[in-house]
Amino acid sequence: MTQTQDQARNLTMMMDEYELTMANAYFNDPTIDNNTLVSFDVFYRANPDGGGFAIFAGLQQVKDYILNMHFTDEDIKYLRSVGHFTDDFLEYLWSFKFTGSVDAFKEGTVMYPNEPIITVTAPIIEAQLVETEILAQVNHQSLIATKASRIVRAANGRGVSDFGARRAHNNDAAIYGARAAYIGGVGGTATVSAGQYFNIPIGGTMAHSYVMYFTSEDNNNSTSELAAFRSFAKSYPNNCILLVDTYNVLKSGVPNAIKVFNEMREAGIQSKSFGIRIDSGDLAYLTKKARKMLDDAGFPDAKIIVSNSLDEYTITSILQQGGQVNSFGVGERLITAKSEPVFGAVYKLCAVQNPKTGEVIPKIKISETVEKITNPGLKDVYRIKDANGRAVADLLAIKGEKVDMNQEGGYKFIDPEQPWKSTHIFSGCTAELLQHPLIRDGEAVCPDEDILDIKNRVKDQLETCVWQEEQRFENPHKHYLDMTPAYYNMKMELLREKDK
């Protein structure tokens, strides 16, 4: 199985120029030791669509990018033509290889704002150059995976497929969007290349053009529609899904489908292989009418698939109105995350190692916009779970700090948003470490994951770990990101120092 198309192309130059201008300045400043290790955190500040959480996706592509980074002769020639960079720096780039380390959440992890989902530790130039591609992959795929999860939950056990390629922003957005949507919970995609690259089940039916192509002697739409259905059924007797809204769903589309289904049944084909798709009109009303017509004709197993500008809200509305739907094909509003198309993950410096002493110095960004104050230093992220396995909070701790969840009387955490309050978690909870080594000294230290395992990780968390109250679309329960007292005091001390 092919995990990624990126192994066949070099994306090293996918970066903002300011990464190169800073790297060039670092390289040519004699006061800077370019072997100094620094750490950057990737995190985001708000859940899309006002939701209770997000789904982490895109890690495989981040890993492939970092491991395959190299500047070609053509790249160096282009950068020299720009005229911004010294020859010595370009010579450094020509022999560039990432030698640092990366820690990350496992792909498919449910995540929350302001916690480091990826931490890059590397010499300053190396850490600077990987920023844009990391954010591009995480921002896009996490956004689509999160949107897909919302849509799948709205479908309430019914099938959902990605139909979005033609409305995606380009081919990469379609392909990686399909990957992310599958991780988020959809059952398959109509995008063939995504199926080829990532082993995602593919599926498709017919377009209106197939029906419109056929003509009849009497030039009657209904007669030509019947001819189209018969033709399609001959090619796909075991998966015959007929598009019934080209002319009139209830007057010709469904009746003609039933005629073909009867002919197929007489030929000995099982009715569970039959179905219709409706792509326009009042989907709640039409599916109820179509369901009754199919049932009355003796086809209670015939599937009804709907498409046409669907999302979690329209799907919820259709089902609340009693719509009779077996499966949803979701296109533009999934693949573009139309309701909120920006995820907003950022890449911020959190620590610098003193090249003389080896001491790791925490760094913090200060802003008058409180939400933009960063969480400094190297840190561990824990998911605190109760005795039933439900997550009650996430926890930031100083890297390597001992967190004893079983101490007598439980544990008292600091709520960073309400420091006059605290969160008291009683003993019996467990603390799951969320970041894991991905790359060490420029080499992978964990195998690539099968996409189905990533998808199942999402499913398992939503079933066993994430509270239903957090999964609401409207006013979801807030999941707290707390701090150990030691971490909180370190952050407050840095803030006080900056205020002097």
CB 38 within 8 A of CB 352: yes
The amino acid that residue 465 corresponds to is: C
Q: Six-digit token pair at 36?
A: 């100094």
Position 289 scores a pLDDT of 98
Give, rounded to a whole angstrom, the gap between the first and last alpha carbons of the chain. Answer: 57
Neighbouring C-beta atoms of residue 18, cutoff 10 Å: 11
Position 2 scores a pLDDT of 46
pLDDT classification of 414: cutoffs 50, 70, 90: low
Q: Which domains does the chain have, with CATH numbers?
A: 5-144+341-498 (3.20.140.10), 162-334 (3.20.20.70)
The amino acid that residue 368 corresponds to is: E
pLDDT tens, residue by residue, 155-208: 999 999 999 999 999 999 999 999 999 999 999 999 999 999 999 999 999 999
Compute CA 343 distance to the chain's CA centroid, rounded to the nearest angstrom: 10
CA-nearest of 63, 73, 55, 75 to 14 is 75
What is the pTM assigned to this prediction? Answer: 0.94
Average the pLDDT over 105-115 and give the result: 98
Quick one: what percent of the chain has pLDDT higher than 90? 85
CB 362 within 8 A of CB 378: yes
User: What's the 3-state SS for the chain?
Assistant: CCCCHHHHCCCCCCCCHHHHHHHHHHHHCCCCCCCCEEEEEEECCCCHHHCCCEECCCHHHHHHHHHCCCCCHHHHHHHHHHCCCCHHHHHHHHCCCCCCEEEECCCCCEECCCCCCEEEEEEHHHHHHCHHHHHHHHHHHHHHHHHHHHHHHHHCCCEEEECCHHHCCCHHHHHHHHHHHHHHCCCEECCHHHHHHHCCCECCCCCHHHHHHCCCCCCCHHHHHHHHHHHHHHHCCCCEEEECCCCCHHHHHHHHHHHHHHHHHHCCCCHHHEEEEECCCCHHHHHHHHHHHHHHCCCCCCEEEEECCCCHHHHHHHHHCCCCCCEEEECHHHHCCCCCCCCCCEEEEEEEECCCCCCEEECCCCCCCHHHCCCCCCEEEEEEECCCCCEEEEEEEECCCCCCCCCCCCEEEECCCCCCCEEEECECEEEEECCEEEEECCEECCCCCCHHHHHHHHHHHHHHCCCHHHHCCCCCCCCCEEECHHHHHHHHHHHHHHCC
The span from the CA of 134 to the CA of 434, in Å, is 19
Work out whether the CA dihedral 77, 82, 87, 91 comes out positive or negative.
negative
Q: 458: buried, middle or exposed (CB in 10 Å: 19+, 13-18, 0-12)?
A: buried
Q: Six-digit token pair at 400?
A: 């390597």
Helices 59-67 and 131-155, axial angle in degrees (round to 10):
160
The span from the CA of 43 to the CA of 345, in Å, is 5
pLDDT classification of 1: cutoffs 50, 70, 90: very low
**Beta strands 327-330; 159-162: pairing state:** parallel
pLDDT classification of 485: cutoffs 50, 70, 90: confident
pLDDT tens, residue by residue, 258-284: 999 999 999 998 877 899 999 999 999
Residues 6+ apart with CB under 8 A from 492: none
Q: 367: buried, middle or exposed (CB in 10 Å: 19+, 13-18, 0-12)?
A: exposed
Which residues are 277's β-sheet partners? Answer: 243, 305
Comparing 7 with 374, which gets the higher pLDDT? Answer: 374
The span from the CA of 268 to the CA of 189, in Å, is 30
- 263-269, long-range: CB within 8 Å, 24+ apart, which pairs? 263/230, 263/233, 264/233, 264/237, 264/240, 267/237, 269/237, 269/238
Average the pLDDT over 233-242 and give the result: 94
What's the mean pLDDT when you consider all of the chain?
Answer: 93
Which residues are 330's β-sheet partners? Answer: 162
The span from the CA of 41 to the CA of 134, in Å, is 11
pLDDT classification of 380: cutoffs 50, 70, 90: very high
Position 499 scores a pLDDT of 67
Neighbouring C-beta atoms of residue 48, cutoff 10 Å: 22
CB 344 within 8 A of CB 46: yes
CA-nearest of 168, 171, 163, 181 to 309 is 163
The amino acid that residue 382 corresponds to is: Y
Average the pLDDT over 486-495 and give the result: 94
pLDDT tens, residue by residue, 315-357: 999 999 999 999 999 999 999 999 999 999 999 999 999 988 9
